């Protein structure tokens, strides 16, 4: 079963009154504080806004990274606020090609929730001619009980050792991987041994996943084939979850280093590689 749902499929589920809870994970790296305002300008009817910075992440020291994992209790409280009940399917979407919605998918999947990502996001919904709403949805609290999360996450030490056992993917833009620019973190470059594969390479212009053969060929070019141990990191553990989603969709399981480069670069003594080579 696919972890993506089309706008037409979602509209059909909602029209039939299926037990579906839609969450709007509007978040962008360039303006993280405007997600709720963007939600209020237009969202899928019935969708609840999910705050990536406070519900799908927690906060700590810089050496914890920008988006550390929330506790299971925090995530459960958020899911109940979204109105998620036992047995519900959650559909997450955003307006950034699924990269933020994938963070919700990654966490909720670990927690035992049936969760999907809307292919094409809000733009795909609107492209089908479906209406949007501007209210601030506040449903009756849900009763979902989450399983403990964290089994698919790597610690910083596990990430450091991972290239010896498999392929560690750096899914940021090539110029950040090479160390030519670093707009957010104190050091530029990448984790030694990591291979660069931006998650955007798996998507078309509308933010939909490319066909399986194309995705598998792209992965094979950096040494990832079915059965390869693989993990991903990015700037702060958001887009890396999207790569995990992509890999899962083509039959490859991946871990995520949620601290990602923001944790690595803020931890004294961690080695840094630059240039095109893994290092």
Q: List, by residue number, the catalytic residues.
A: 234
Q: How many Å apart are CA 38 and CA 1, to the nearest integer?
A: 31
- Count other C-beta atoms under 10 Å from residue 210's C-beta: 15
* Cβ pair 191, 273 in contact under 8 A: yes
Q: How many CB atoms lie within 10 A of CB 118?
A: 26
* Token pair in block for residue 60: 């700590």
Residue 36 burial (CB count, 10 A)? 14
Contacts of 28 (CB under 8 A, 6+ apart): 34, 35, 96, 100
3-state secondary structure 89-105: EEEEECCCCCHHHHHHH
The Cα–Cα gap between 223 and 157 comes to 22
């Amino acid at each position: 079963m696919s972890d993506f749902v089309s706008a037409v499929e979602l509209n059909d589920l909602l029209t039939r009154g299926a037990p579906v809870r839609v969450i709007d994970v509007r978040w962008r790296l360039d303006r993280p504080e405007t997600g709720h305002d963007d939600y209020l300008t237009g969202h899928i009817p019935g969708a609840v806004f999910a705050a990536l910075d406070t519900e799908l992440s927690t906060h700590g020291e810089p050496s914890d990274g920008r988006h550390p994992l929330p506790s299971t209790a925090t995530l459960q409280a958020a899911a109940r606020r979204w109105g998620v009940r036992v047995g519900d399917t959650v559909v997450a979407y955003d307006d950034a090609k699924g990269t933020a919605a994938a963070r919700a998918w990654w966490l909720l999947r670990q927690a035992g929730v049936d969760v999907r990502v809307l292919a094409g996001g809000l733009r795909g919904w609107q492209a089908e001619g479906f209406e949007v709403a501007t209210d601030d949805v506040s449903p009756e609290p849900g009763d979902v009980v989450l399983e403990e999360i964290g089994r698919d996450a790597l610690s910083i030490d596990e990430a450091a050792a991972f290239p010896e056992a498999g392929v560690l993917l750096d899914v940021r833009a090539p110029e950040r991987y090479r160390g030519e620019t670093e707009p957010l973190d104190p050091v530029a470059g990448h984790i030694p041994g990591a291979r660069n594969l931006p998650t955007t390479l798996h998507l078309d212009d509308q933010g939909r996943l490319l066909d399986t053969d194309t995705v598998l060929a792209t992965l094979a070019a950096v040494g990832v084939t079915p059965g390869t141990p693989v993990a991903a990191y990015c700037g702060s553990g958001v887009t890396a979850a999207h790569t995990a989603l992509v890999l899962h969709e083509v039959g490859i399981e991946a871990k995520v280093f949620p601290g990602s480069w923001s944790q690595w670069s803020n931890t004294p003594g961690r080695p840094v590689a630059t240039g095109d080579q893994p290092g």
